[in-house]
Amino acid sequence: MTLRRRQSSLVAALALALTACGQGGAPANAQADAMQREQDAAPVLVEFDSAYAAGDWARARLKADELHQEHAGTKAEAQAMVHYDEIKSKSDARRDDERLRSLWDYQTNPEGRGQQISAALISKNEITIDGGVSHVQLIFRDHPEWKRITYVVLSHGDIDCYKGCKVKVTVDGATKMLDGLRPDTKEAISMFINPDRALWRAIQHHKVLAIEIPVKGGPKQTAEFEVGGLDAGRMPKAWSAP
């Protein structure tokens, strides 16, 4: 065999060998890469499983999102995403529960020989009054001298209920009429709602309260309150008693 022929044969043999190496190496590399990706995702899945078992929906959702965004296509991601609709629903519900609870302001202050205890909530909407707008504050107050009081307060304008009036209140679509009275005082633009415990008892375990405000010098305005976060235990037991 001449030198030229031997060189040609060697070149051909090397080409075949390189082709064979390339064909065998690609699957091996892909498999190694997939294994590495699963290993990287495994600790995140452990955190997801722990949060899911503990009912920590916010953290479970965070870890599921991490798996979906940073470890897409892994078995770990697939396992977490099976539960995604559930944890999204529960984390959204819990976040809204926390928001509703934060809307309430509870206060306990020394007053005379006892304590004044109150629960207050600001309306989610503003009402039009006296050429402007005002939120409405709903207050339940337990006073050692004045006893139980339920009333609403405006920031400005006035309420047309000095001689007493009927106040329309709606709780989750169910309407009733309660007694209202604007006290003859300039200390606050307020209106009592009686019986004193009726509204407190009515809103427990409900979501939305609407109170129709008889605005002086204008049409009645409706203030809406998100009452779903109420913690009834923050007021004395007598408020919730039958």
For the purposes of burial, counting CB atoms within 10 Å of the CB of 154, is it exposed (0-12), middle (13-18) or buried (19 or more)?
buried
Supply the pTM of this predicted model: 0.78
- Residue pLDDT, tens place only, 66-75: 999 999 999 9
- Alpha-helix runs per DSSP H in the chain: 3-54, 57-70, 75-81, 84-102, 198-203
pLDDT score, position 21:
45
Q: Hey, what are 50's tokens?
A: 């722990």
What residues have CB less than 8 Å from 197, skipping those under 6 apart? 148, 150, 238, 239, 240
- Residue pLDDT, tens place only, 177-235: 999 999 988 778 999 999 999 999 999 999 999 999 999 988 999 999 999 999 999 99
Tell me which H or E stretch contains 116: strand 114-122
Res. 11 pLDDT band, cuts 50 70 90: very low
- Residue pLDDT, tens place only, 141-164: 999 888 899 999 998 889 999 999
More confident: 98 or 131:
98
